Amino acid sequence: MISPALPELPDGVTVTALRDLAVRLATAAGALVREGRPDRVVVAATKSSEVDPVTVMDRASEELLREMIAAERPDDAIMGEEGDDVPGTSGLTWVLDPIDGTVNYLYGVASWAVSVAVVAGPPEPATWTVLAGCVHSVADGRTWSAGLGEGATRDGTPVHVGSATSLGASLLGTGFGYDAERRAQQGRVLAQVLPRIRDIRRLGSAAIDLCLLADGSIDVYYERGLNPWDMAAGAVVATEAGAVVTGLRGGPAGNAMTVAGPADLVAQLAEILEAADADGAGLAEIP
């Protein structure tokens, strides 16, 4: 695994300390959301479409994360799924998904997580360097974390991507957006991919998908339409576990496409996705 170069950090700051804080933040918010989950979760609002929900606990989780960051790292910026960006002066930004897998949380399906990452540089996946991240799968307590150059762990034990070398034998994770037209396009792309792999899993949390890739529970992953907070922490866990995390046509991972896995599988999958125009490079962008 070759980690990106470590950018200059503010005085007295280490990757290890940032990683420890990411773990503390994610587990504290996880405890809040687990304990506060009512028997019947209701939708507080919808966002990009009528099937893109926000619950009261998404908001409460993000509020707690923001309060803890303001108390411990007041000069850092914050970018979170459920609130306005907060500017900072340190050059570091915390990227927060207070509940990744909100539809699972709503329905009581046990695959949702609090995802916390800290990045250097402009808070945009194409240009940032993720310094540390934690994905805490709240329902079963599994906690993945990574620090740049430190490797990745699940519950403290080092993890590594799986050993599949052929795409045909690979279990593939993916996900779908909330926009109906986008989903129709994703279905057409999946029809090209499905005959060429072992099977797919659609587990409903991109952050967990990237961590399952990191510990070899799935072999390869792709998704179009990820937001920065869906992928920041999972991407550093995956890369520190030996994965390549990239876009198509030589571009970086991001909203247009994120492909992750061992380098040889990513190359094979990218070829199929490019031929299927999975990133819509030739099509008008759907928000």
- Which of 120, 233 has the CB closer to ligand IPD? 233
Q: Which of 142, 153, 134 lies closest to 25, judged by CA?
A: 134
DSSP labels, 20-57: HHHHHHHHHHHHHHHHH--SS--EEEE-SSTT-EEEHH
Least Å from the CB of residue 284 to ligand IPD: 20
Out of 65, 164, 172, 206, the residue judged to bind ligand IPD by CB under 6 A: 206
135/29 Cα distance (integer angstroms): 11
Q: For the CB of residue 107, give the shortest distance to ligand IPD in the complex, in Å.
A: 12
Q: Who's near 267: CB < 8 A, 6+ residues apart?
A: none
Residue 144: CB partners within 8 Å, gap ≥ 6?
134, 135, 137, 152, 153, 154, 159, 211, 214, 215, 234, 237
Q: Is residue 137 part of the contact set for ligand IPD (CB under 6 A)?
A: no
191 Cβ contact partners less than 8 Å away, ≥ 6 residues apart:
none
Partners of 244 in beta bridges: 261
Task: Out of 101, 123, 242, 261, point to the residue binding ligand IPD (CB under 6 A).
Answer: 101
Least distance (Å) from ligand IPD to the CB of residue 5? 29
Q: With CB under 6 A as the contact rule, which of the stretches 28-36, 69-77, 136-144, 198-206 interacts with ligand IPD?
A: 198-206
230 is a contact residue toward ligand IPD (CB under 6 A): yes
Number of residues located near ligand IPD, criterion CB under 6 A? 15
Helix/strand/coil for 219? coil
Among positions 20, 56, 91, 176, the unique one binding ligand IPD when judged by CB under 6 A: 176
Residue with tokens 């876009």, as numbered in its chain: 247
Q: Is residue 175 a contact residue for ligand IPD (CB under 6 A)?
A: yes
Rg (CA), the chain: 18
The binder of ligand IPD chosen from 80, 123, 125, 204 (CB under 6 A): 204
Decide if residue 258 touches ligand IPD (CB under 6 A).
no
Regarding 51 and contact with ligand IPD (CB under 6 A), the answer is: no
Which residues of the shown chain bind ligand IPD in the complex (CB under 6 A)?
A: 81, 97, 100-102, 175-177, 204-206, 223, 225-226, 230
